[in-house]
Structure 1
């Protein structure tokens, strides 16, 4: 962020493959009249798990789309693997968590919702394919420091409601309707209220 000035910044788990849907969605968001960049923006979404992605399959957007449709399965709403933010997002206030371990993703979404930032679920417009290996889909839970984030965040913030930081609790979402990009608002279940 210190080296480049842009409308949005992102980080992603390194085992995720994207297609042109990422670029198209972000371009649409930047030009959207629905998103107010006066407040911090956080864009996240669910991934699609695909086992044993070959080099050839991962080389082209069309192949990634094809394998996601033929062999892919959308993962749980609890797992967020990419985070796209506006320059005003207060990263300096985020605790020193370990990326890839449980808790930081749901805390980040929950805290952003609680702070009334513009939090957007882009699952319907960004294809994020997780390259599932023999380690499986819960690899972060198999490390000796798997509870580091949960321990740290629970010490810092009493009563964190991680379940309110899942993708299904995000009020704003993206979609294409009649080939038109839209940012819409949905009514979330009562248990999601912050």
Structure 2
């Protein structure tokens, strides 16, 4: 962020592949009248798990789209693997969590919602393919420090309602409708209260 001036900054787990839907989705969010870019924005979404992606399959957007449709499986609401923010997002106020371990993703979404930032679920328009290996989709739980984030956040906040950081609790979402990308609002369940 110190080296580039841009509308969005992102970080993602290293085993995620994106397609041109990333560019189309971000362009729509920039141009949407539903999104106020003057306040912090956090964009997240589901990943699609695909086993044993080959080099050839991962080397072209069209191939990534094809394998996601033929053998991909959408992962659960509780797992977010990419985070896209506007320059005003206050990363300096985020707890010192370990990326790739349990609890940081749901806490980030919960915290952004609690702070009344604009949070957008881009699952429906942004394809994020997770290259699943033989280690499986829960590899992060096998590390010796797999509970580090949870323990840190409980020390800081006593209790964390992680379910309020699920994708189903996000009030805004992107959708491809009428041959264009759109940002829309949705009603969320009662358990999503922050």
Smaller-chain TM-score range? over 0.9
Give the number of aligned pairs: 194
Runs (4 or more) in structure 1 with deviation over 6 Å come to none
Distance 2:170 2:49 in 1: 21
| TM-score normalized by the length of structure 1 | 0.99
Classify the secondary structure of the residue corresponding to 2:7.
coil
Pair 1:63 & 2:63 matched: yes
Could you list the runs of 5+ residues in structure 1 that have no partner in the other structure?
A: none
Contact 2:19 2:64 in 1 (8 A): yes
Contact 2:24 2:181 in 1 (8 A): no
Distance 2:145 2:178 in 1: 46
| 1:38-77 superposed Cα distances (whole Å, 9 cap, x missing partner) | 2100000000000010000001000000000000000001
What's the counterpart of residue 46 of structure 2? 46
What's the counterpart of residue 94 of structure 1? 94
What's the counterpart of residue 140 of structure 1? 140
Distance 2:159 2:149 in 1: 14
What's the counterpart of residue 162 of structure 1? 162
Distance 2:28 2:184 in 1: 13
What's the counterpart of residue 34 of structure 1? 34
Classify the secondary structure of the residue corresponding to 1:24.
helix
Pair 1:11 & 2:11 matched: yes
Contact 2:8 2:86 in 1 (8 A): yes
